[in-house]
Amino acid sequence: MRVLGVDPGLTRCGVGVVEGVAGRPLTMVGVGVVRTPADAELGHRLVAIEQGIEAWLDEHRPEFVAVERVFSQHNVRTVMGTAQASAVAMLCAARRGIPVALHTPSEVKAAVTGSGRADKAQVGAMVTRLLRLDAPPKPADAADALALAICHIWRAPAQNRLQQAVALHAAQAAKAAQASSKGRIA
């Protein structure tokens, strides 16, 4: 499985591609940051993020895109920029028919470090270790993007089984309801 992780941000949007399957060693395919100038007009910044993500999608051809789920922050302006960059990443993936998964920061931290309260240094250290890198990716946004991809690879099998179980249960319930309604009609 090849996953593009996206740590959304207007100034620095972290991107990282990881390949592998749960339970096996993972490989970093690429890591970087899409940057936009803080003084540029918002529309131009969003276009630059779109172009950057499109270039990563073209070059690395991921099967999935994992994006950090936007959560409430104290600074409304920051959360708005993060949400806008997140939407651009989801749009780019959806346009190509690539499934998108959203993961909360605490889910990612817990998956990678074992603690949902880990700090950026701990996440960077574990990403370095898990991907057998010489040093943590810089800036932290790049390490966070790799952590998102790792989280998705590790969580996807369980999420898929859960979704299949829910779908099976819904189908069985619908079939039972249909059979019950036929019995009342006759």
Mean pLDDT, range 116-123, rounded to an integer? 95
- pLDDT value at residue 77: 79
Does residue 68 have a known ligand-binding role?
yes
Residue 134 annotated in active site? no
Does residue 39 have a known ligand-binding role?
no
Report the phi/psi class of residue 133: left, alpha or beta, with left for phi > 0 and alpha for psi in -120 to 50. beta
Of 160, 69, 151, the closest CA to residue 110 belongs to 151
Q: Give tens-digit pLDDT for 132-162.
A: 999 999 999 999 999 999 999 998 766 655 5
Residues 6+ apart with CB under 8 A from 16: 4, 5, 28, 30, 31, 32, 137, 142, 143, 145, 146, 148, 149
Catalytic-labelled residue, pool 54, 119, 141, 144:
141
Of 71, 101, 96, 95, the closest CA to residue 83 belongs to 71
- Of 11-15, 73-77, 105-109, 112-116, which range is least confident? 73-77
Percent of the chain with pLDDT over 70: 91
Residue 141 annotated in active site? yes
Residue 166 has pLDDT above 90, yes or no: no
Does residue 119 have a known ligand-binding role?
no
Q: Give me the chain's average pLDDT, please.
A: 91
Residue 7 annotated in active site? yes
| Domains of the chain with CATH codes | 2-185 (3.30.420.10)
- pLDDT value at residue 168: 75
Range 78-94 burial, b when 16+ CB lie within 10 A, else e: eeebbebbbebbbebbe
- pLDDT value at residue 159: 62
